[in-house]
Each structure stands twice: as C-alpha cells, then as structure tokens.
Amino acid sequence: MKKTVPIGPVLLLSVSISLGAGAGRIQAQGPAGAGAASVAQDGSHSVNPMNWLRRDSKDSDDVVRTRSDAEKRLTPRLQAAGILPDATLTDACSSFVILEGCLAALHASHNVGMDFNCVRANMTGVHTSADVSQCKVADGEKPQSLSKAIHQLKPDANAGQAAKDAEQQAREDLKAIGI
C-alpha cells in the first residue's frame, strides 16, 4: 500500500518559509533615487497617498486673494486706457475662471471693436444680465476659444492674430503688476 502525504501542511510550511525570508529583505530596503537619504531621514513625509493629493486650504485662499488684489490693481489702469468702461474688473470677469482669459477678451474686444459682453458670452458660455441680443452667440452655450469667438463675432477680422495679440497684452498687464 502506498502512503500519501497531505499537501495542505507541506504547502503551508513552504509558504510561511518564503514569506518569512522575503519580509527580511523588504525591511532592509529603503527609498532609492535622488534625495532618498533625506526622505528616509525626514519623518514628515506622509506614506498616505491621500495626503499627497490634498490641497491646503491656505493655498486656495492665497489664489483668491491674489486674483482679488490683481483685479483691484488693474481696474484703474484698464479704465484709463478705455478698455474697461463703466465697470470694475471684478464685475466684468466674474464668469471667467482664469483672469488672464478675461483680460485677453477685454483687449480683443477693444482692439477689434466688438462688444465685450458678446465675447464674454461666447468664451464662457454664461449669459449674464447684459444684453446680448445683437450678438452671434455660440450654439448650445458651449465655451469657445478667444479666436473662435472673434471669428464668429467678426468674420472679416484676422481672428488668430487678434487672439495672440490680446493674450500677449493680458500677460503684459499681469506682469506689470507683478503677477
């Protein structure tokens, strides 16, 4: 009669031996790469990946404060240049997510001779209380790029060049106030 050895205990023994040997090697390894020594010594580095993604609310408050300050500082400049009549930059740019985009829209509407409310409605897809009945408003209220908005509102204008010029002027405005 042939004797059989049960597989369960043998398999359990071999798995526990391999895990025990592997654990020693894993513990001996540290971080590798540039700056690994400082990370290994620095106890403040979190091993929780959610902490890597979390944004500090202080940072977002700084961004809001910076935009508000920029709007306050740019309003008199743009009003003096005739680019922003009858409003503050805060009111004009409220539907824009990025201030630079709003500044570019203001410059483009001034340079090409378009109504800013029409450009704003086409670029943001948001229709404010401003009268846009004479505008060629984008279909489906989808946001458009500045060059597409210019082309739709003023087909005879060189939309690409006008958008580039306006974007450059917007960057210069922000640079002039240190942003």
Q: pTM of the full predicted structure?
A: 0.63
Residue 13, pLDDT score: 56
Tens of pLDDT along the chain (179 residues)?
A: 566 656 656 555 565 565 555 555 555 455 555 555 554 554 555 566 656 555 554 454 555 578 899 999 999 999 999 999 788 999 999 999 999 999 999 999 999 999 998 999 889 988 776 676 778 766 556 889 999 999 999 999 999 999 999 999 999 999 999 88
Q: What is the 3-state secondary structure (H, E, C) of 116-138?
A: HHHHHHHHHCCCCCCCCCCCCCC
What residue ranges do the domains of the chain occupy?
Answer: 57-176
DSSP string, 137-166: PPGGG----HHHHHHHH-TTS-HHHHHHHH
Residue 57, pLDDT score: 47
Residue 91, pLDDT score: 92
Residue 125, pLDDT score: 84
